[in-house]
Structure 1
């Protein structure tokens, strides 16, 4: 019997047998028997003494093979610390490994985010995307040096802990990572190029806990993604203000409608031939109790990234339709209002339906409402052309804002139902002295007219600019020469004091 047991367990087994001969049942776990092939089997052993008339006549040994249990335990332990898809360490392993020797060395926390990986999933499917992640994990493993550990952070993000390093060595590794991602990945004989953005924080300079270093590397990664992608940045203290203010601002923005902090202002659009106002552009303004007046250029991107833009956009549309209804009921002269629509709103399947519901609810003429979109919203024709055609069928006018600064193809001018082109202010600025700006503006006006579209020039500030535009047959203009965007009370007082 003892010959089957590992030497380290013999004394313990003898002790248990002695208890058995004294009439006491005992159990042993984590004891190993030696198989005839030399392998060691984990077993559970129980001694059962047989007592007859007060004396132990024999002992039964119950032996249970725990090999399957131990194998399952090993698998469970592996899965507890490894990502099941790539086999890399997971976040649990990161938390535990981080503390080992952390106070004895300088460490780099390198946060990698794959750029636009959703396009890969959309292109080759979730299964194909998973296969691509495996290939990416293998490539990263081949790049990481011996003094590093590689983790999958979930989704399309990976983390490298680089120990006993310097800023210079960390920078060299980041550059190597970027170079390796210049090479294609292959799936089903098709090559795919995937870029990566990298944010880096350093221990102990940027923090002494996993939470601090992770947060600051995320801030650096977000900064890279917001500034062109495909490069790396070390965390800098200035990034705190950027992202703290953005988070706080988003919190306030979510309650802006409820707290009555949003207002719709209106900027007149002048008919250059008659000098009369025939339309307005609705412009959103936010006066927050903490930040004061905030530029739309600052809060609109936050609204779009957070999804708040849908609620805000609906609120603005409702306000504009209500205003048109008020003018209609008071029999003021007819004037169209243009509403800026975010590309995210335009992608909503039911957007045109919501617009029609507002028009019907207020009983206004659809021709008095204009939907104003940017060129970039037209980049994906499949997402937008049906919505714009539906709006056109309702009777709503459609205009392109900031023309000449966004999506470069002119094919959409023919394929989309566009009524009006708005020349971006950058081409109007110095039009009286810059021949190139003058030539661009004139070309846009001629192009629009040849396609049967009207033209509005933005940012007109001087009489000479207006005169040049009139001579080029531009129909309308807006800008500080005529009026800044003002409140509805001022609009009513200045432009609708007399009924028609």
Structure 2
């Protein structure tokens, strides 16, 4: 009796253990996040877990008894059957690129793994574990798109340009086939950046890209290769056709771009290099198209030129000049000249504008219009600006130490330098270092700097705490709101020379100048007119109660030794 009871208990224990194993096994299958089908030797489905419904939309009862081949693309059935037969022979297999039919009617790309299920050494069933790779495929497609496209504009990027060029030139071209590389570089886009900020400038760049798209022919491709640079590749375009295309772009760019209901005008300098005439390598062609762009910029911008060999020397001079510019401080090639600012009522002079001059051992006297933009683009403007401020403070210290009559000197500050977080601290340090009267040092900022409200206000307030004088240069040419003037601690407004140039002949310029003068008076600010060259201009400015003026009528910028002889002794 005891033996019977003992055997029964053993059988019950084994059965319970077997049930536990089966339930664990089914739990692993049922709760697996990947869809799992179980098929038998005739390839019919006998089981599908919950993930099958989640991924492919089918319930268990819709699948049971149906052939697995009903859900696979017809052109893959042969290969698929071969792999299943291998699985029933006991081989586990992984398979990519299988498309499984979704209940809603589309095929989903899937990854599949076969798991043979052997009972007593014989494979009775096969589990098919599938994974929907459509999301991964979309991500891969997106990554592929991003790797070859500019994220801001959606245009092709530089990597795509290289890939396309390699493909286009892989096989020898017929003698009448060519590729024109049209290199567009937006003129003075930094002004837009300074005025509108990064987000606003990005919106303008999108509009520029759209405008280029509207004129680009079907056999042309557009690439954004830099911040404000674009390349248009025209395949099998003659010189005449390329010229017509470029002229169309220049014509379209003469129309305004709109941002937040405001008009902005942007021109482009364009250089063109042609494959294979100007070179057979991509970098060579891009360099030559850039040389042509530089040639256009040096001759007035907003035009186009095809590359010519003589441009090589001028382009290398630019690189060489930049190298010399970076050593100008070390070799003592800079000198500061001072242009007097004349009190129009009294004729007295008690303020000057500091202007940098560069006399290079190779290039001779280089125009500020040439080397200052170069310093801006290369980043050397920070070191150069710091040197100028130091020299001006040193000069003021010398004159104050000799008890010359008090004067004020204005220093033009680059927007990049002004936006340095430590700019106000630098000025304060120099004033303390040389022990000069703070009000004798004038910080002259461009109107575009007023756009960056938070940082600008903080910096200007710090400067005013130090006691320096603050002026706004080129007033009337930027995009700032007049309401900023009442919020910032500004002492002086300088009327841009473009409004003074024809003031005696252009009633609009006269009206603008008088409006600015009146505005300055009402805000308690001093006003200085720049670029005065004729007596009649002085007469009009006097009648409008303009405080001061500077220009060639009174004096060009002169060295410090001449300032002492003419105005201080």
CA deviation map 1:263-309 (0-9, x unaligned): 00011222233322211111111112222222212211111111111
Alignment match, 1:211: 283
Contact 2:474–2:495 under 8 Å retained in 1:
yes
**Distance apart, 1:92 and its partner CA:** 6.1
Alignment match, 1:108: 179
CA deviation map 1:131-161 (0-9, x unaligned): x9xxx99x99xx885x778988688978676
Contact 2:343–2:547 under 8 Å retained in 1:
yes
1:23-42 correspondence runs (5 A): 39=79
From 285, 294, 301, the equivalent of 2:373 is 301
SS of 2:307's equivalent? coil
CA deviation map 1:184-241 (0-9, x unaligned): xxxxxxxxxxx99876421233234333222223445678999999x99563337656
SS of 1:85's equivalent? helix
Contact 2:457–2:488 under 8 Å retained in 1:
yes
Larger Rg: 2
Give the direction of change, closer, same or farther, for the CA distance of 1:162–1:100 in structure 2 (3 Å limit).
Answer: farther
**Distance apart, 1:464 and its partner CA:** 4.6
Alignment match, 1:236: 307
From 469, 482, 485, the equivalent of 1:397 is 469
Alignment match, 2:517: 445
1:400-415 correspondence runs (5 A): 400-407=472-479, 409-415=481-487
State the Cα RMSD in Å. Answer: 5.0
SS of 1:206's equivalent? coil
Contact 1:112–1:196 under 8 Å retained in 2:
no
Contact 1:459–1:478 under 8 Å retained in 2:
yes
1:10-89 correspondence runs (5 A): 39=79, 85-86=147-148
Contact 2:497–2:531 under 8 Å retained in 1:
yes
Alignment match, 1:3: none
Name the CA distance, whole Å, in 2 between partners of 1:485 and 1:180. Answer: 41
**Distance apart, 1:487 and its partner CA:** 0.6
Contact 1:340–1:371 under 8 Å retained in 2:
yes
Give the direction of change, closer, same or farther, for the CA distance of 1:257–1:148 in structure 2 (3 Å limit).
Answer: same
SS of 1:305's equivalent? helix
Alignment match, 2:442: 370
Contact 2:411–2:442 under 8 Å retained in 1:
yes
Contact 2:289–2:307 under 8 Å retained in 1:
no
Name the CA distance, whole Å, in 2 between partners of 1:232 and 1:269. Answer: 37
From 388, 391, 400, the equivalent of 1:316 is 388
**Distance apart, 1:492 and its partner CA:** 1.6
Alignment match, 2:20: none
1:145-184 correspondence runs (5 A): 163-167=235-239
**Distance apart, 1:179 and its partner CA:** 13
**Distance apart, 1:351 and its partner CA:** 0.8
Most deviating of 196-205 and 244-253 = 196-205
Give the direction of change, closer, same or farther, for the CA distance of 1:376–1:224 in structure 2 (3 Å limit).
Answer: farther
TM-score between the two structures when normalised by the length of structure 2: 0.59
Alignment match, 1:59: none
SS of 1:484's equivalent? coil
Give the direction of change, closer, same or farther, for the CA distance of 1:270–1:221 in structure 2 (3 Å limit).
Answer: closer
**Distance apart, 1:396 and its partner CA:** 0.9
Alignment match, 2:458: 386
Name the CA distance, whole Å, in 2 between partners of 1:225 and 1:476. Answer: 34
**Distance apart, 1:261 and its partner CA:** 1.0
Alignment match, 1:188: none
Alignment match, 2:495: 423
**Distance apart, 1:344 and its partner CA:** 1.2
Alignment match, 1:338: 410
From 527, 532, 548, the equivalent of 1:476 is 548
**Distance apart, 1:335 and its partner CA:** 0.7
Give the direction of change, closer, same or farther, for the CA distance of 1:123–1:39 in structure 2 (3 Å limit).
Answer: farther
Name the CA distance, whole Å, in 2 between partners of 1:405 and 1:150. Answer: 32
Name the CA distance, whole Å, in 2 between partners of 1:455 and 1:148. Answer: 52
Name the CA distance, whole Å, in 1 between partners of 2:331 and 2:407. Answer: 30
Give the direction of change, closer, same or farther, for the CA distance of 1:101–1:224 in structure 2 (3 Å limit).
Answer: farther
Give the direction of change, closer, same or farther, for the CA distance of 1:122–1:207 in structure 2 (3 Å limit).
Answer: same
Alignment match, 2:362: 290
**Distance apart, 1:337 and its partner CA:** 0.6
SS of 1:377's equivalent? helix
5+ residue gaps, structure 2: 1-75, 81-90, 97-136, 150-155, 254-265
Alignment match, 1:33: none
Most deviating of 472-481 and 198-207 = 198-207
**Distance apart, 1:404 and its partner CA:** 2.3
SS of 1:270's equivalent? strand
Give the direction of change, closer, same or farther, for the CA distance of 1:152–1:274 in structure 2 (3 Å limit).
Answer: closer
Give the direction of change, closer, same or farther, for the CA distance of 1:421–1:353 in structure 2 (3 Å limit).
Answer: same
5+ residue gaps, structure 1: 1-35, 41-62, 69-74, 127-131, 182-194
SS of 2:147's equivalent? coil
Name the CA distance, whole Å, in 1 between partners of 2:508 and 2:547. Answer: 21
